[in-house]
Structures are given as C-alpha cells and as structure tokens.
Amino acid sequence: MKKITGVFILLQLLFVTASGQNYSFPITDLLPYVQHNQQDSVCALQVFPQRGTIYDRRGRVLASDSVLYDLMVRPGKVKRQDEAIICSILKITAKEYHDRLKYALNWSDPWHPNAKKTFDSPAPFKGLLSRDITASLLKRMAELQPAFTLEKRAVRRYPFNTAGHVLGYVKTGNTGETGLEESYDKVLRGVTGLQFFQCDHKSMPVKRWKGGTLDVLPERGRDVYTTIDIPLQQLGEKLMKGKRGSLVAIDPETGGILAMVSSPGYSPTELAMNRNTYYQALRNNRDRPFLNRTITSFNAPGSVFKLFQALIALQIGVIDPGTTLVCNGGFTLCGTPAKPKCHVTGWHKPDMVRALAISCNSYFADVYRKVIGLLPQSGLTAWAESVKLFGFGRLTGIDLPAEKAGVVPDTSLINKRYKAGWNRCTILSNAIGQGEVSTTVLQLANAINIIAGKGWYYPPHVADSIGGITNSGYLQRHTRIKAFDLPDSSWNRVHQGMYEAVQAKYGTAYSARINGLDICGKTGTVENGKGEKDHAVFAAFAPRAHPRIAIVCLVENGGFGATVAAPVVTQLISKYLGGR
C-alpha cells in the first residue's frame, strides 16, 4: 500500500506541475509514471479538456472544438476477415489496406520516439474519420476488436474558414500557435485531467485504479469574445484575394479590430484537418502565406505620411492651415532636382487643405524643411519624437504575437547610415513617406484612428472579453488616450483635406468615392526601390462627423493607391456602415 500511495503523490506533483505551467498532452496519451512491483503498477492517463471557443463581436463562432475519431490498428491482432470489413467501410482497395498495415508496423509515436514498440502496439490506420464512416465502424467494432479500435481526437473547427492570421492554430499537444490561439493559450486551453489505471508489467492498462475515485476531471477552457466583424472580414479577404498585401479596420469608439486581412492567407480548416501536408506547402510557398503582414511587415507609408507632416507642422507652428506654398510637381534636394512620381495638380500655390487633397509633394517637402529647420541634428530629433506620438516606431501593444515596431529615423540612425555627411536635404524623402521611415499597416490604421479621434484613441486590440467578462485579469484594460494635442480647428482642416481627397473632383481618390458616404481619405504610392511596381496605399475613416471605422489597405506592387487600394477600402466602409 505504501508503494501505491507514493505513486499517487508523485502523480499529484506531476499534475500540479503540468496544470501550473499549462503543459499539454495528446487526448489518449498513456504516460506510465510507474512504481513497479512484481505484478503490476499504476499508470496515469492525461486527458485534454475541451478548448475554449472563440467568437466574433456578434457572438458568431470563429473557432471551437469538434471531436473526430482516428482508426487505430494493432497489426499483431489483425484477423483475415478484418480486411473485407475495413475495405468496404473505408472504400479502399486491398493494396491500400496492406500498405496502411505496413505503415502501421513501422510507425513510431512522435511524442514518445524512444518508447518500446511491439507488434501489438496501437498505430494509426486512418485519421480524422468522417461521421458517416465512424458510425459504420461502430456498428462492426465488436467484430473488428481487438485489432481495430476508435480513438477520439479533438480537432479545431472553423465554421467560416476565415481570419487564419487573427485566430492562429492549435498544434499537436493542444498548444496554441500564432494569433489569438497563442496569445490566450492559457485561457483557452483549460486544465488537463487525469485518469488512473492499474497496468500490467508492459505498462498496458488492465482496469481503472480504485474504480476511478481518485481521477481528476479536466476543466474546460474559457471562451474568448473578439471585436472581429466576420462579414467585414470575409469581404476583406474576398477583395484581397489574388493580391499580396494587407488591411486593418479599427472601431474608433473602442479600438477594437473589426477586420485584419493578410494576403495571401491560408485555410484554418485545411490546416486543422490536413496539418502535415498543408503546413509544409504553406512553408514552401514563396509568397509566405503564414506571414501576418499587418503586424510583421513594414514598408514606407508613402503619401499617407503627409497627414502627419501637416499635423506636426501645425503643432510646432511653422505653418497654419492657410499657409500657401509652391506646388510644382516635384522638389529640389538643395539644388538637385528630385522628381518623384507626382500628380498633375493645376494648383500653383495651394494651402494645406488643397495640398492634402491633391497630394502635393513639393508642398510637404517645404513643410518638412521648415520643421527640421536650419539645425538638422536637433530638428530631426524633435521631428522623430513628434512622429512617435502617433504610434510609429514602437509597438502598438496589440494582443497578437510577433508584432514589429517599424522605423522612425532619428539622429542616431541617420548618423550611422551617413556618418557626418548629411544635412536636411539628405533625408528629405521622409517628407513624403519615403526614405528611412517605415510602418506596419496596423500602425498606419492606428494613426488614422488618432486623426479620426482628433488626437484621442483607444489602443488597438482583438479580444474584447474572456468568458463574457471584460475586466478579466487576462485582458489589458483599454482606456482612452490623448496622443497628439491640437485645437479642433486644426484637426478640422486636416479632416477637410482628407474629405476633399475623396469627394472633390480634383482629389486623388475621387474615382473611389461612394455617393452618400462622407469618407475622409488619403492616397499613397510607395516606391519600393527594387525596380518593381510601386505599392498602393489608401487610408480613410468614416463618417466624417462621427467616425465609426478607420481603415488602411496596402497592396504590394499594386501601383497607384487611388485605383487599387482605395476601392478596397471604400467598399469595406460601405459594407460596414450600411450593413449593420
């Protein structure tokens, strides 16, 4: 009796360690923590709990557990008559049947590669059976045992088969990988249970130990409710299909992510049902569909960045909304003409509002010169600190793994790159969102959200509550933050410039407008410096008076922002504002 008590204490310690550290094991992973005597031992079966469900903002299921069955075989127990039954139910040939038996003979458990393999050890014959096949096998199981048995397996189910980068996936071992499945793994996973068995000298279970009275029941994982709007997410993925790029839509009233699309994407369902083959195919794909471009890829923001140049200049006081500057289709780098791809504006000396609407490069080059001033070292430092107030060059803190911070060039970075041989002309490309500055699409969307809120914003996040409780200890409380201080009159003029960019005939995004929607936007075309087609960017919020959505779309090698990215954004805004 002392031996048995010692075993149980050992098992208790192991269980506490496992649950405390959120370790996981396969559903029917028989791990013998054995205290041997001459006849028998006690073994523990660690049983997975049901994983928590993930919902969208309206309570629609995005990811949940579903129980399927694997057909297992003990090759040493196979009877001649088993072949006909199995071939008939699985609809396979005799050759396939024998090939699967051969595979089972050579199979080793990847979780326990050093475990002793016997002729009677169970091995997979066919995994993830359909419900019809499972039902047919159950009817004949009495004839097929002990050679063939059915083993439960929990498989993640994705009813909409969408938002793979947001949700992530679950690895073997019930461990979340990427996305929300990783960020909230401790919440979703639950607590592993234990069943105790009396085992023979081969560590095979003979009967329940003490009638199961000392078993520990598994505890189901908790549910996660998100801010994702699934119809908007589905439309975003549809509009981005066949493109490389990403988009992020935010609710300005909460900071909740309404849609997050990275293209190309992947099928969560296929990854759950056909993990090994599909996973390898995704890894080998040159377009990197596993990459969540919204938070891990950073590019120059292009002309969308002119919005922030204008706001910084207004705060410093080097311009006011009525300041007019020459718009000649280009600008000079201290005497050297620089002619980036510019719009033909027809405006010789626009004010700030008109310069935003027509996206005048030379206007914002002059604004940048004024901000940097005659002392580029100190001027660049002050400029960089102002840019960071919009969330650039730092993590947003979104509740998804692997976020990148992008780059805001400061004096230290420029000194390393150019040594002492630089001045304000060297870095002038930053004026129009080129040069050394780079951002993620999430950062841009968050910054547009700040503009929509006239300097105020809620930090971006995907999880809204745990088990319906918004103040769960696992969630960061989201309070409204003042990021950038300007009088309403200045914000209103920047909003007007964005409004005219979409609504006025001379605006760069006029072709993408939608009648009846007060969309404020800004186009961007990003030269990538690789001799390839430019990236297309469009940023917007709507409606103008009371913003309910802020959104940014970037299409890699898409060309002009107004013709490629803007239609994606305006269609999504129309869907969201008109569809609820």
Q: What is the pLDDT of residue 338?
A: 56
CA torsion, ordered 306, 310, 316, 322, to nearest 10 deg: 150
- Amino acid at the residue 251: D
For position 14, what pLDDT does the model report?
40
pLDDT band at 118 (very low <50, low <70, confident <90, very high): low
> Are the C-beta atoms of residues 434 and 146 closer than 8 Å to each other?
no
* Those residues with Cβ within 8 angstroms of residue 32's Cβ, 6 or more apart along the chain or in another chain: 41, 43, 44, 199, 203
* Fold annotation for 230-274+292-578: Beta-lactamase (3.40.710)
Lowest mean pLDDT among 98-102, 365-369, 475-479, 513-517: 475-479
Comparing 562 with 444, the larger pLDDT belongs to 444
- pLDDT (0 to 100) of residue 373: 86
> What is the number of residues in the chain?
580
Q: What confidence category does residue 184 fall into, taking pLDDT thresholds of 50, 70 and 90?
A: very high
Write out 493-509 in H/E/C secondary structure: HHHHHHHHHHHCCCCCC
Of 501 and 192, which is predicted with more confidence? 501
Banded model confidence at residue 154, pLDDT cuts 50, 70, 90: confident
Cα–Cα dist 523/511, whole Å: 12
Q: Judge whether residue 440 has pLDDT over 90.
A: yes
Residues 37-76: tens digit of each pLDDT: 445 588 887 777 899 999 999 999 999 998 888 899 999 8
Percent of the chain whose pLDDT exceeds 70: 85
Whether 157 shows a pLDDT value over 80: the answer reads yes
- The model's pLDDT over 86-114, given as tens digits with 9 standing for 90+, comes to 999 999 999 999 999 998 888 765 444 45
Q: 473 pLDDT band (50/70/90 cuts)?
A: low
Q: pLDDT tens, 334-360?
A: 656 555 555 555 567 999 999 999 999
Average pLDDT (481-496) is 97
Residue 254 has pLDDT above 70, yes or no: yes
Give percent of the chain with pLDDT exceeding 90.
64
The pLDDT, as a whole number, for residue 32 is 41
How far lies 278's CA from each of 20, 128, 243, 263, 283, in Å? Answer: 33, 15, 21, 17, 9
In the 8-state DSSP scheme, what is residue 428? G
Categorize the per-residue pLDDT at 484 as very low, low, confident or very high, splitting at 50, 70 and 90.
very high
Average pLDDT, the chain: 86
pLDDT of residue 333: 60
pLDDT at 557: 93
Q: Which whole-number Å values give the CA distances from 531 to 146, 269, 288, 430, 535, in the listed order?
A: 65, 38, 21, 20, 12
The confidence score (pLDDT) of residue 298 equals 93
Burial 355-393 (b: 16+ CB within 10 A, else e): bbbbbbbbbbbbbbbbbbeeebeebbbbbbebbebbbbb
Model pLDDT, residue 510: 95
Residue 500: count of CB within 10 angstroms of its CB: 22
Q: What is the pLDDT of residue 375?
A: 74
Of 105-119, 192-206, 248-262, 486-500, the one with minimum mean pLDDT is: 105-119
pLDDT at 155: 86
Residue 549 above 90 pLDDT? yes
Q: What is the CA radius of gyration of the chain?
A: 30
What are the extents of the domains in the chain?
A: 1-50+191-223, 67-156, 230-274+292-578
554 has which bridge partners? 246, 537
Q: Say what the pTM is.
A: 0.84
